[in-house]
Amino acid sequence: MRPAKDLLNKPIYTIDEGRLLGKVQDLYLDGELTALAGIFLGAHGVFKRRADLILREDVVVFGTDAVLVSDADCITDDQSHPEAKTWLLRGKLGERAIGTAGGMKLGKLGDVEIEPTGRVTGLLLSKVLVEGPLAETKRIDRSIVLEPDADGVVTVDLAALEQLTGGAGAEEPDVPVEKGPPPLRVTVDDEPPAAVGG
């Protein structure tokens, strides 16, 4: 698993001819933030903008050094795929806040964590507004997202977040606590010692 931003500027080659098609300019995510939906290659047009893209199903491998696709015919555009209008560009994720159903603001979304298959496994925060384990990891597991886009806020399950990060409400670790020596007690006898032989 790695941040989606690691794919930016990676060259895109075809498997059939080894032809270079360009570089990854950005990535499309589905509206539910569950998976990569495609690769954004750039936009052009003066009056009517058109975005060139490669659909996720045409990607064979999201590699470490390059992205491999089936062939050169896989390049299409958002005019041919109206569903692309509902996708989110990874570069615009920072416009979304992370919060709870109760209205608590946790931070700002910065990126997503993905598997080699393109499935989203976690949300990576660019800014954290709370203290504790979340401020250290800056990561929220995708499984606890309740609503990916409620008026620009990604809503997460607070109880599940606390359970996963070890915050309040999580079970205490089953580790014995080392105890020091007992505190010293000083007692004062009120009666003087009895005389011997008297």
The CATH number given to whatever domain includes residue 109 is: 2.30.30.240
Spans in the chain with pLDDT lower than 50 = 168-188, 198
Is 178 contained in some domain?
Answer: no
Q: Which two tokens stand for residue 193?
A: 């010692």
- Residue 63 DSSP one-character state: -
Check whether residue 102 and residue 73 sit in a common domain.
Answer: no
Provide the H-helix boundaries in 62-171. 133-137, 158-165
pTM, two decimals, is: 0.76
Q: Do the bridges between strand 2-3 and strand 105-114 make them parallel or antiparallel, or are there none, so unpaired?
A: antiparallel
pLDDT in tens, 157-178: 888 888 887 754 333 334 444 4
**Helix spans in the chain (H):** 133-137, 158-165
Are 114 and 150 in the same domain? yes
148 contacts 33 by C-beta, under 8 angstroms:
yes
Q: How many domains does the chain have?
A: 2
Domain that holds residue 155: 92-165
Same domain? For 81 and 114 the reply is no
